Amino acid sequence: MKFQWNLLLGLLFAIIIAIFAVFNVDAVQVNYVFGKAQWPLVLIILGAALLGAVVSGFVAMFLSFQSSRRIKELMKEMTTKELTIAAQQNEIAELQKYTALPSNDEVIIENKNV
């Protein structure tokens, strides 16, 4: 559902930019570092919107890559810790078996009482 809302908002934003661009078809002067040029304002608006979308896409891809890499690291760490916990639980169970067995002194004391 979130994807659908994002898609809808993206399309709405694109329509607003397109309508704004259609009403601004006059030529404007664009100053570059190395010169000047006359461009239709519609191309400037659409170019800026496209450039913004491309930059946003690259940032989103970078953040997604970082997140997936971090998730993989955390999953490995979790697996390691789960194995450590399992080994410690087995060790505790073994120690509890040894403490549950009566020692020789306890057997002798029980025999004297009988």
Each residue of 55-77: pLDDT tens digit?
A: 999 999 999 999 999 999 999 99
Question: 18: Cβ–Cβ under 8 A, 6 or more apart, which residues?
Answer: 46
User: Mean pLDDT for each consecutive 10-residue tract of the chain (114 residues)?
Assistant: 87 85 84 89 85 94 96 97 95 85 56 54
pTM exceeds cut of 0.75? no
Instruction: Give the three-class secondary structure for 26.
Output: coil
CB 40 within 8 A of CB 27: yes
> Which residues are registered as beta bridge partners of 38?
29
Backbone φ and ψ for 105, nearest 5 degrees, come out as -60, -40
CB 23 within 8 A of CB 17: no
